[in-house]
């Protein structure tokens, strides 16, 4: 992951399930898209592949079993199946189509997160390395950033912003880019949200002298790992 978000596709015909998982997973730092059925899921996967698919079994048209089989034929992707059924034969059928894991509804969101992390770490070990630059290190598998061997207590948004600066060490990142990459919408000059979050990061780094997060007036901000 190396400071980048893992992409998740939530496939379920129930809007409430899609909304619930989208909100929860985005709060955990994942980049989430949704699909209401298997055909839409396959189309989205073809357009821009995902790292993991959370896939409901019982859907109109193409069910989750067939969708999983087709996904696994074409893509290196983690698939976790969700179903209202908890019979052993249903679990076996799901695993035989290539699913990496299986959860029966209703399920614990924390359990889903744990299973996702385990499967992602197993499938994509090359994405789980800790990246170090100066006194900073990013472990995106754990959504953790260390500074001088101390874990920073960051909100999800602060984490995204810090990762963006970390990925662009010694490069000035404009306010517009920060707004697009972290908040996902265009920057408006009347907004001071970027300044507020930069100030929060500096406080957590005890960077009162702006040694690490530097302001380039009129341009943006950059991370100087040498301080």
Top-level class of domain 131-223:
mainly alpha
Where, residue-wise, is CATH 3.40.50.2300 in the chain? 7-127
Q: How far apart, in whole angstroms, are the C-alpha atoms of residue 222 and residue 145?
A: 17
- Distance from C-alpha of 67 to C-alpha of 85, rounded to nearest angstrom: 17
CATH superfamily assigned to domain 7-127: Response regulator (3.40.50.2300)
Q: Quick one: pLDDT at residue 128?
A: 56
Q: Supply the pLDDT for residue 4.
A: 44
In which residue ranges of the chain is CATH 1.10.10.10 found? 131-223
Extract the residue ranges of the chain whose pLDDT is less than 50.
1-4, 187, 189
pLDDT in tens, 152-167: 999 989 999 999 999 8
Q: How far apart are CA 145 and CA 149, in angstroms?
A: 9
Q: Would you state the pLDDT for residue 89?
A: 63
Predicted TM-score of the model (pTM) = 0.55
The closest of 199, 198, 225 to 211, measured between CA atoms, is 225
Question: Residues 6 or more apart from 47 whose CB is under 8 A from it?
Answer: none
Do residues 47 and 54 lie in contact, with contact meaning Cβ atoms separated by under 8 Å? no
Residue 179's pLDDT is what? 87
pLDDT in tens, 164-179: 999 899 999 998 889 8
β-sheet bridge partners, residue 145: 138
Residue with tokens 């209202």: 84
């Amino acid at each position: 992951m190396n400071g980048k978000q893992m992409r998740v596709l939530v496939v379920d015909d129930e809007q409430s399930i899609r909304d619930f998982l989208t909100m929860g997973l985005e709060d955990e730092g994942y980049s989430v898209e949704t699909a209401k059925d298997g055909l839409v899921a396959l189309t989205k996967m073809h357009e821009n592949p995902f790292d993991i698919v959370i896939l409901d079994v019982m859907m109109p048209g193409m069910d989750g079993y067939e969708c999983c089989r087709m996904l696994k034929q074409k893509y290196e992707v983690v698939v976790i199946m969700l179903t209202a059924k908890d019979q052993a034969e249903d679990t076996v059928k799901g695993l035989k189509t290539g699913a990496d894991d299986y959860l029966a509804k209703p399920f614990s969101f924390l359990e889903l997160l744990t299973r996702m992390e385990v499967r992602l770490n197993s499938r994509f070990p090359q994405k789980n390395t800790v990246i170090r630059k100066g006194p900073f290190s990013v472990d995106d598998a754990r959504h953790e950033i260390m500074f001088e061997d101390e874990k920073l207590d960051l909100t999800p948004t602060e984490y995204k912003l810090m990762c963006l600066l970390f990925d662009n060490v010694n490069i000035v990142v404009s306010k517009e880019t920060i707004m697009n990459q972290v908040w996902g919408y265009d920057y408006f000059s009347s907004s001071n949200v970027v300044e507020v979050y930069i100030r929060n990061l500096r406080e957590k780094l005890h960077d009162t002298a702006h040694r690490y997060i530097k302001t380039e007036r009129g341009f943006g901000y950059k991370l100087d790992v040498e301080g």
